């Protein structure tokens, strides 16, 4: 399934909750429970996302021209946020990830319901995922 289709699927899921942000937060927490967890040996300082309020470790690896992301964090809402991002872009090519639009985040209203620190963390996670993709793209040249 393509990035746009996955993003649309997420928008539809969140629309089921209407304006009920308690329900949306619960859904986000549930998504965090399905987060592909990073190996314990990969929880190193160089994999910490700068700009996040909580500790977020992100690992990526190139597997048959597709980037696979895993992560972990010490905060349940943040775990849901990173799980959401991984659900959308993990398993896609470097070009797909670099060019991926993240408009679905605004469509579900997530940015306006996060604290400024969490919003900064979300932007930092997206930035790191795209930087990883750029790094793998350079590596393939």
- The residues carrying an active-site annotation are 52
Please give the sequence-ordered ranges of beta strands (E in DSSP) within 64-116, or none if there are none: 66-73
| 141 DSSP assignment | -
d(CA 42, CA 36): 13
Q: Cα 35 from chain centroid?
A: 10
| Residues belonging to the chain | 141
For 76: left if phi > 0, alpha if psi spans -120 to 50, otherwise beta; the answer is alpha
């Amino acid at each position: 399934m393509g990035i746009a289709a996955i993003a649309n699927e997420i928008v539809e899921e969140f629309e089921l909750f209407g304006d009920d942000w308690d329900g949306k937060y619960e859904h986000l927490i549930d998504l965090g429970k399905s987060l592909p967890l990073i190996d314990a040996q990969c929880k190193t300082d160089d994999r910490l996302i700068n700009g996040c309020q909580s500790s977020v470790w992100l690992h990526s690896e190139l597997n048959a021209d597709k980037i696979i992301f895993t992560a972990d964090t010490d905060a349940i809402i943040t775990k849901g946020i990173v799980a959401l991002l991984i659900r959308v872009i993990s398993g896609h090519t470097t070009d797909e990830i670099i060019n991926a639009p993240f408009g679905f985040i605004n469509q579900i209203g997530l940015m306006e319901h996060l604290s400024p620190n969490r919003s900064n963390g979300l932007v930092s996670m997206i930035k790191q995922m795209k930087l990883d993709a750029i790094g793998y793209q350079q590596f393939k040249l």
